[in-house]
Structure 1
């Protein structure tokens, strides 16, 4: 399987029909740009939180404003509401007020509770909002849904120029490689195997649902099955072309697909015969219907009166060869209306094996020289024939008995069916679904879709998944499709469960489903090997081109965002910021229009601002000629000097006029070198040459005097 980074992904705006035309509006970008966007959104939400706090603080400030004389707690609460730039600062300062005024003011907890709750709620709400702002990204552990460009879209077909050598040397090996990748994916991603190295996050569904019945009846007639009540029947149910296969289309353009596989081990009694070629060479022939083969010399098909044959001599004469399983498959295909497709089939089953409206397979598995470490009663792997003993070198225990398979080529019969439905037709409409059938041709069911675009869409989907799955899988992979092979080491099959054959069939179905998922993606991306482009064609009309550009996959290399989520965050956040920035001016304008002047609450809000509080202190000392006394930045006339700190009591600093700072001095500080002298502003005067002295000051030891 290709990794998601190897696909060409569409960057920009598109509609993800999984969420509808509004919620599904999606913006896809590279992962690095996506990380930047997430970071910006988190920062933006923090800014919005601070501005929302300014709105609530103004409302609380106005609510508590009064022209009556109030205590220090009231004025400090008003100052905090006016000057705390964000709710975090508000919470911390209000808590400090609550603790500091405890016992010094009337009911400090009750008076500060409301602003403390409001500021705390703002902190909590916008902290969560900052975290949840990343949820506008459509993503999970497997990645974001992205859309493929479909630039190299191609569908398989059989060209007139293709030779037998082209098929055998190029096309069939390419298909085998694809089936091998599908088998590897199924082994890891359709099971609970967590130790694999493959990523299971390419398809929109990691695995397709398959309902398994392990106690199914026999799919064939005439007592062919070894058991009539313990066979396996696998059914996918109705799979949606959009939800399960990732073809991004609105509901009215979707198609349903269903596949079933019904398998059972077959009796060989009465259906096999040993055929001797010479004294030391023989074959076992199995008779479940006549087979056909291709004569490479005459290049003609010829008929055989048996289904399959396999040598009996490997165990006796060549035990060191073929130390693994081999498989052969005979297939009989049925088209619409139970029509036999003998030209595409390689055998014609006996009547008991012929399932109506289904492809019929007989899968032969040979053990060759594989020995079994234990007897097994598995109905397909049955091994009870003694094969000798192996010396136990690791202990004094008895030697290990080993066993051969009872059949040189054990047969397993399977019936495969597929079905398509138009989900937009009423459920009681007989034309809603095609009959269950084997091989599918979209032209056989013209009543299912009548719109020209729908017919093209139907043909596109049939091209991807409407062909027989089991025959292609087994012909390409052979014994590599068996899960039992993982237990074979140096020709010895380890212990296996009694239902091993069912595990194999389940793995086949999982591999077929994976191959179907991959087929949708590969149609949108085209073949990965340039050598096989001969067997693929590009889209022939606009409808096919749109389908090529409608394939979704999952990817961790890109990020997809909800456009609606982005718009809501930016719009609501922008509105809050705008209201916060303009609210004071709007209220001031309204007051002037209604009352001809600003209200007391508005003036208190203005004068409680940090710079205005500084102005009030300086102006109370008669310092500065101030302008813009109700604005955001009050200013003085050029060159005017303001008051300084009076540091005579460093635990209680005050503001004093500049001339007072030049006239008065203080002695040494206990923390400074003894005898160093300071002005009121704390500047050393030891090195000054001239002083305008009004006070004589000496240290306690009398070492110096001024």
Structure 2
């Protein structure tokens, strides 16, 4: 299954309802546009974190304000905070202060440590914000919404194509979907580590549908099942929410759930077969003088009575492969019967009357399930060891005549064919506002929506159920059982070393996985359009769509398709995250600008924050410069309580010397005898102190 073509991906805003109406709002765009958004976010985050850091430093400075006499380390730390350095600069500058003051004041390390911690925590937070911001734009394994002008529902029943009766099941599109379903099931219906899912399996929002299996007793009359313990296998999907399993984007109140339960058993053919010799039935005489295997499990409509399967033993002995089907050109109404691979009987009255191929014997009759009989022919396949698997029993020793060493004993089939009987049951559940879901009983697939017996379904639910019913009628066990896993083991060889005793279980699992994979593909092809896969599918789809069917066209999600332009995958932009980041950065920037640049200098806020605001103002570099000039008697100055002081008139100011002379004082002695690192400072000039 290839990914959805880029031309069928919706660009622009849409809501991924699985994530919620707010968090799920995304914009799908190309890489070029998403790179612009990433650049804008980077600039916004840089602005936001810078201004947030300013607010943090302001708050920390205000917290440390102390009106009492303090030492020089404290005063210089406050001045450093007032300069609003970057986090890395703050760490380096504080390291300088600690180094110079470490032997001059007490507890210098302890008093410096909190500032380093604050810087480190903020740097870590900035890194986390950067990582979070990167998730605003995502381009790996993203969900995209399908938007295709080719979206059409399938036609139901029989209709004319080029003047001839036709059904969707016989179309090139259905055959292609069956083929792709088998290939997809082989690759993707496995257990994967979440990080190891192959690229091929990422087309759908969920790679596969989990099937719960159980070995059970015979689901039919016990006389018809093979005689071994628990001869049947149940494969049950449970209720699959289409939003989860099929990638639908249905609103909460209009969701639909679907369940399929399949029970298959190997049938006992004892007393239910005969060999027709040449001449026993003139209708089978086509000149080959061959024997025919006649198996009776019910009547096939439109053919001879008392016959379900007719197989040519001549053909079987000449065919070097396993089969569930083959074709013979026999004249008359036996054409459909000869070589038939499977037959079916539906429980729906409408489907039973018009579509059932089989009228089963009483032992196989069911009233709450569709019945499928699948014939597996071993033909000429042989084995090196006896085979105990009930679908491929082989115990008859034989000596090969050619292509095999003469001293080698091979084992051939016990019986030309085995028959597997399967019951298929379906269940639909419809969401109801403020009420539990309405669920139908497990029964055969209905022919029409009214058979679901839920008149309160919304139009969208009706369209969704109709899509499931139409695809379910096309892709069932009859189509899924056309292929055998054991054939891949044979690889055109005349014999196999052995077969495991549970190969029949592998075959049934393969049929059901193929069926589900085909349903997944067909469901997405509804929105993409059958014509996107097979261009001449126009006669098999309807143009007269209802409003709900048109709406359903816009309800399909798939995975990242691989790009709007070559080698450039599309990107999803989370609208909420984008708005949150930009709004928060803008808000922080405005708070910083208004608070630190304007509001704190207004009269009313300043009265509330005194005396801390005064400390913030006076620790500013302009106020420190003013006081240095005043110490040299240069002034007078105005606006001494404002952030920027000015001289009263346009007087000329001198260049400040390295050291300002004060009143006569004695030389400051280092209480601890000084240290080598400040020797040059003490040699520059004698530091005066107040007496």
- Compute the TM-score of the two structures, normalised by the length of structure 1: 0.78
1:351 corresponds in structure 2 to 362
Aligned twin of 2:491: 489
Measured after TM superposition, the shift of residue 123 of structure 1 is: 1.9
Task: Please give the alpha-carbon distance, in whole angstroms, between the structure 2 residues aligned to 1:138 and 1:66.
Answer: 49
Does 1:436 find its partner at 2:448? no
Counterpart in the other structure of 1:515: 518
Contact kept, 8 Å, 1:153 with 1:548, in 2: the verdict is yes
Report SS of the residue matched to 2:300. Answer: strand
- The separation in 2 between residues aligned to 1:411 and 1:22, in whole angstroms, is 54
Tell me the equivalent position of 2:546: 541
More contact order relative to length (CA 8 Å, sep ≥ 6): 2
Write the distance in 2 (CA, Å) between the matches of 1:387 and 1:314. 19
Equivalences for residues 263-278 of structure 1 within 5 A:
263-277=264-278
Note the alpha carbon deviations across 1:614-639, whole angstroms, 9 max, x for none. 77768877999999985579999999
| Deviations, residues 593-619 of structure 1 (Å, cap 9, x unaligned) | 7659x9665455456556776777688
On the 8 A contact 2:262/2:424 being kept in 1, the answer is yes
Q: Match of 2:566?
A: none
2:404 matches 1:404: no
C-alpha separation in 2, matches of 1:426 and 1:82: 59
1:572 is aligned to 2:579: no
In structure 2, the partner of 1:675 is: none
Change (3 A) 1:441 1:424: same
Structural mapping, 1:50-449, within 5 Å: 50-66=50-66, 70-136=70-136, 143-157=141-155, 160-163=159-162, 167=166, 172-192=171-191, 199-213=200-214, 215-226=215-226, 227=228, 229-277=230-278, 281-292=290-301, 301-314=302-315, 318=318, 321-327=319-325, 328-336=340-348, 341-388=352-399, 400-424=408-432, 432-449=439-456
SS of equivalent to 1:103: coil
On the 8 A contact 2:321/2:381 being kept in 1, the answer is yes
Displacement of 1:197 after TM fit?
6.5
Cα 1:268–1:434 shift into 2, 3 Å: closer
Contact 2:322 2:484 in 1 (8 A): no
Determine if contact 2:475/2:519 at 8 Å carries over to the other structure. Answer: no
Compute the displacement of 1:273 (Å): 1.1
Partner Cα separation in structure 1 for residue 295 and residue 162 of structure 2: 33
CA distance in 1, matches of 2:632, 2:402: 110
1:239–1:257 contact (8 Å) kept in structure 2: yes
Correspondence 1:650-665 to 2 at 5 A: 654=658
How many Å apart are 1:574 and its aligned residue?
Answer: 1.7
**CA distance 1:641–1:497, shift in 2 (3 Å):** farther
Aligned-partner Cα distance in 2 for 1:390–1:636: 122
Question: In the alignment, what sits opposite 1:588?
Answer: 600
Inter-partner Cα distance in structure 2 for 1:283 and 1:553: 50
**Are the aligned partners of 1:153 and 1:538 in contact in 2 as well (CA < 8 Å)?**
no
State the Cα distance separating 1:274 from its structure 2 match.
1.3
**Deviation larger for 160-169 or 573-582:** 160-169
Cα separation, partners in 2 of 1:627 and 1:182, compared to 1, 3 Å: farther
Q: Distance in 1 between matches of 2:380 and 2:651?
A: 107
Work out the CA distance in 2 between the residues paired with 1:593 and 1:468.
75
Output the CA distance in 2 between the equivalents of 1:618 and 1:493. Answer: 103
Shift of 1:363: 0.9
Alignment of 1:448-463 (within 5 A): 448-452=455-459, 454-463=461-470
Worse-matched range after superposition: 631-640 or 307-316: 631-640
Matched, 1:501 2:512: no
RMSD: 3.9
- 1:560 alignment counterpart: 572
- When residues 107 and 526 of structure 1 are mapped into structure 2, their CA distance, relative to the original with a 3 A threshold, is same
Cα deviation, residue 132, structure 1: 2.0
Provide closer, same or farther for how the CA distance between residues 105 and 500 of structure 1 changes in structure 2, counting only shifts above 3 A: same
1:551-584: per-residue Cα shift (whole Å, max 9, x none)?
A: 1112163333432222222222221111111112
CA positional deviation for 1:231: 1.6
Q: Distance in 1 between matches of 2:520 and 2:73?
A: 70
Distance (whole Å) between structure 2 residues aligned to residue 105 and residue 371 of structure 1? 96
Partner SS for 2:200? coil
193-202 or 507-516: bigger deviation:
193-202
Question: 1:439 Cα deviation (Å)?
Answer: 4.1
More displaced 10-residue stretch of structure 1: 502-511 or 326-335: 326-335
Q: CA deviation at 1:449?
A: 2.9
Greater CA deviation, 620-629 or 384-393?
620-629
> Of 473, 482, 506, which residue of structure 1 is paired with 2:480?
473
> Greater CA deviation, 600-609 or 537-546?
600-609
Asked if 1 retains the 8 angstrom alpha-carbon contact of 2:372 and 2:423, the reply is yes
Larger mean Cα displacement after TM superposition, 400-409 or 233-242: 400-409
- The SS at the match of 1:341 is helix
CA deviations 1:75-101 (Å, max 9, x no partner) are 321232123433233234334433443
Quick one: distance in 2 between partners of 1:29 and 1:96? Answer: 50
- How far, CA to CA, are the matches of 1:539 and 1:98 in structure 2? 82
SS in structure 2 of the partner of residue 200 of structure 1: helix
Question: Aligned pair in 2 of structure 1 residues 35, 637: CA closer, same or farther (>3 Å)?
Answer: farther
Cα deviation for residue 466 of structure 1 reads 6.0
Q: Is the 8 A contact 2:446 2:452 kept in 1?
A: no
Residues 467 and 408 from structure 1, CA distance in 2 versus in 1: closer, same or farther, beyond 3 angstroms?
A: same
In 2, the alpha carbon distance for the partners of 1:618 and 1:72 equals 20
Equivalent pairs, count: 624
* Farther-moved stretch of structure 1 (521-530 vs 484-493): 484-493
Aligned-partner Cα distance in 1 for 2:248–2:544: 16
Residues 640 and 383 of structure 1, relative CA distance in 2, 3 Å threshold: farther
Tell me: CA distance 1:501–1:35, structure 2 relative to 1, closer, same or farther (3 Å): farther
Q: Distance in 2 between matches of 1:398 and 1:94?
A: 93
Alignment CA distance shift 1:13-1:271 (3 Å): same
Q: Structure 1: 5+ residue runs without aligned partners?
A: 293-300, 647-653, 657-706
Structure 2 matches for 1:5-20, cutoff 5 A?
A: 5-6=5-6, 8-20=8-20
Shift of 1:372: 2.1
Q: Residues 306, 618 of structure 1: CA spacing in aligned structure 2 closer, same or farther, 3 A cutoff?
A: farther
**TM-score scaled to structure 2, two decimals?**
0.80
Unaligned runs of 5+ in 2: 280-287, 326-339, 562-568, 661-691
Contact 1:434/1:448 (<8 A) preserved: no
- Cα distance, 1:502–1:589 mapped onto 2, change above 3 Å: same
Query: Equivalents in 2 of 1:135, 1:523: separation in Å?
Result: 32
